[in-house]
Amino acid sequence: MEYVFKAENISFSYYTLQGEQNVLKDISFGIKQGEFVSIAGPSGCGKSTMLSIMAGLIKPQNGKTKTKDGLKTGYMLQQDYLFEWRSVFSNALLGAEIKGTITEETKEYAKSLFEKYGLTEFMYKKPSALSGGMRQRAALIRTLVPKPDILLLDEPFSALDYQNRLNVSREISSIIKKENKTAVMVTHDISEAISVSDRVIVFSKIPAVIKNEFEIDMPYDSLRRDNPKFTKYFNEIWKELQ
């Protein structure tokens, strides 16, 4: 299968007056078309830094990223960050607005997403009128409107409480599957990674190297957490993280 994204020998350091902190060390991996990959690792291991590099927000000091020509990335942050001074709909159009590409077509596309994911009646409300899960869906729509080829998710559910988290992560991941998007998700929650991904890449503590990779060989459905393989994967990944 064709790779849409490749990281080759990526190294990254933060520099401060107190000294240099090497967070990523010689990281290489590839992402295939349509794949859902999770990057798991301990807190502060540079997973988010890796995602920022993939999004082109920062440049690695060493190594390079290779992408398919004209690849568009979409980024989802830890919280929804919907702007309270805009309606939910106008929040969703933010990307198009910045790119100066608001047309009737984009508006229609955004509306169709709202309809598909059950938010039509909240479109012209303020974000504060929405529940946590609804806000997360709205944030996903905002990411989807510019039609990205690859979605980068930075612990997108970590701001939600446990109950919501299970539902929302199921919801969001099934939307991503339905839209047939390639996705890379960063998380420190092993069970979350296993329940939504095709593949889990495990990062070590900093300076992070890739410790191991796991192909998750389970049918993608809401029953994954009940599959006996789930526990097996969980234990294996958990061991890697120790």
Chain residues that interact with other proteins, rule: CB under 8 A: 55, 57, 73-75, 77-79, 81, 83-85, 94-95, 97-99, 146
Tell me the CA distances in angstroms from 137 to 23, 141, 229, one per residue in order: 31, 6, 29
- For residue 122, the minimal CB distance to other proteins (Å) is 18
Angle between helices 132-144 and 162-178 (to 10 degrees): 30
Q: Which is closer to other proteins, CB of 41 or CB of 146?
A: 146
User: Can you name the residues that pair with 208 across neighbouring β-strands?
Assistant: 24
| Beta-bridge partners for 39 | 186, 201
Q: How far is the CB of 139 from other proteins (least distance, A)?
A: 9
Calpha distance 7→10 (Å, rounded) = 6
Q: How far is the CB of 195 from other proteins (least distance, A)?
A: 25
| CB nearer other proteins, residue 19 or residue 100 | 100
C-beta of 100 vs 219, nearer to other proteins = 100
DSSP at 159: T
Specify burial of residue 60 (Cβ count, 10 A radius: 0-12, 13-18, 19+). buried
Nearer to other proteins, 159 or 241 (CB): 159
Distance of closest approach, residue 155 Cβ to other proteins, in angstroms: 12
Minimum distance of other proteins from residue 102's CB (angstroms): 13
All residues at 6 or more sequence positions from 229 whose CB lies less than 8 Å from its CB, including other chains: 217, 218
The nearer residue to other proteins, 44 or 118, going by C-beta atoms, is 44
* C-beta closer to other proteins: residue 57 or 129: 57
Question: Are the beta carbons of 113 and 141 closer than 8 angstroms?
Answer: yes
Q: Identify which of residues 160 and 210 has a Cβ nearer to other proteins in the complex.
A: 160
Q: C-beta of 100: minimal distance to other proteins in Å?
A: 10
Per the CB < 8 A criterion, the answer to whether 148 and 117 are in contact is no
DSSP-assigned letters across all residues of 46-104: SHHHHHHHHTTSS--SEEEEEE-TT--EEEE-SS----TTS-HHHHHTHHHHHHT---H
Kindly state the smallest distance separating residue 148's Cβ from other proteins, in Å: 10
- Residue 138 is encoded by which pair of tokens? 């709205």
